[in-house]
Amino acid sequence: MLSPEQNQQLTQVGAGTPMGELLRRYWMPIAGVSEFDHQATKAIRLLGEDLVLYKDLSGTHGLVDRQCAHRRADLSYGMVEAKGLRCNYHGWNFDETGRCIAQPYEDTVYPERNVKDRIRIKSYPVQSQGGMLWTYMGPQPAPLLPDWEAFSWPNGFSQVVISEVPCNWFQCQENSIDPVHFEWMHENWGNRLRTGSTKLGPTHLKLAFDEFEFGFTYRRTKQDSDEHNQAWTVGRVCLWPNGFFLGEHFEWRVPIDDHNTLSITWKYTRVPAGHEPYVQDHIPTWHGPLKDAQGRWIDTHVMNQDFIAWVGQGVVADRSQESLGASDGGVVAIRRRFFDEMARIAKGEEAKGILRDPAQNQRVVLPMMDRDELLQAHTVEQIMANPRLKLLYATYPFQAGQPEAVRQAFSQAMGIDAKPYDGIVLPRSTEKAGM
Ligand code: FES
Ligand SMILES: [Fe+2]
């Protein structure tokens, strides 16, 4: 149980707050590159700051203040130019560093004054990686954008899935270090929803949580898996400070502000044997809905179930009212580490897991269960005969709302006719479900 003040520290992300300063030490994924196939600007709110992300006509991305420096018009309605983003009100143009590079009327009547040289708007750097756009909102010098090895895996189809979840980011991230919820939320509740069965899956028997450079791992044994299983020998990665790495996919919980979270998933699927070499020329991005036609939270897919837990805890979970149990060792460990890190950053020390040496930022490997199974080429027949692989190839069980066009592109790459996820019961073990 935490004090209300401690709860605030963990959850408030504005500039100048301890957690806001900590999170500003890290690159954050904020959008899909392919979102800019058919749009030039995107209004976006990050860490409590209203911004606009754009792609200009020469293909440069910028992330700048939402409000124009002139008389505060909304730049998300601006026009992109060969260089920069031009305000739709009086035509002032800003480049990706926030410099004003044109003031049409002033440049015409008083060219010698060059007032624009003194005008700037807030801007943050943007880089692309893994089909996503990333930004860094902290002090310079910026660290390197992590080059996770997964982004270089060949012969795969990747997709990026985005949703805005109306609750604080920290309770979403606590979910990344919470192994027992898989058994209950995704297996037992999931199966109850689909089949009505009251039969329960194998229970957890033992948990371990370990810290390493890039976060924490959790490890587990269950009634159906012993200490030789990679769920114990390797485990899953709660990626510092706001990610989750599950082998074939990453999830990030990026704070929009204190009350909303951008959920971003990057999902990779290796093409089957006989379909390589495969080079994906376009990584699709899609937006997953949260509610059904009746206004109820969608409960059919893995992450939608997680969203129900996160939002159900309240807009900001009140940790002064909780009663932690024996399954919460990881939650306690990351909270402790966040408090320590906030204190270290306040003293000007380097943040945890930051990469600054290019030689060390090459295809950085994270602990990964079932690496061979997920990365080697299986035949379509082998895939369809294996319940876990079938779940990962014949459908998209992680989040509701995959567009037909994405499903078709995926099916074509795999040579498997993927179907919408329609309530296939998860394999009885979470170890087998890829979670
Ligand atoms: S408000 Fe943007 S140019 Fe005038
Ligand atoms: Fe979950």
Considering the domain 27-136 in this protein, what is its CATH number?
2.102.10.10
CA-closest residue to ligand 1 atom 4: 90
Contacting residues for 343 by C-beta, under 8 A, at least 6 apart: 18
Per-residue pLDDT tens over the stretch 170-217? 999 999 999 999 999 999 999 999 889 999 999 999 999 999 999 999
3-class DSSP assignment, residue 333: helix
Predicted local confidence at residue 423, as pLDDT: 61
Cis check: omega of the bond before 277, within 30 degrees of 0: yes
Q: Give the start-to-end residue ranges of the domains of the chain.
A: 27-136, 149-433
> Comparing C-alpha atoms, which of 163, 160, 312, 150 is closest to residue 245?
150
**pLDDT at residue 363, rounded to an integer:** 98
Q: Among 68, 79, 119, name the best residue to mutate to test ligand 1's pocket (greatest count of ligand atoms within 8 A of Cβ).
A: 68
pTM confidence score: 0.96
Among candidate residues 235, 100, 242, 99, the one with its CA nearest the CA of residue 165: 242
State which ligand 1 atom lies nearest to the alpha carbon of 69.
Answer: 2
What pLDDT does residue 1 have?
81
pLDDT digits (tens, 9 = 90+) for 25-37: 999 999 999 999 9
Ligand having the closest approach to the CA of 75:
1
Check if 206 has its Cβ closer than 6 Å to any atom of ligand 1.
no
Closest of 330, 289, 290 to residue 310, by C-alpha: 290
> In the prediction, which pLDDT does 429 show?
47
Between the CA of 93 and the centroid of ligand 1 the distance, in Å, is 9
CA-71 nearest atom, ligand 1:
1
| Predicted local distance difference test score (pLDDT) of residue 427 | 53
Question: What parts of the chain have a pLDDT lower than 70?
Answer: 423-435
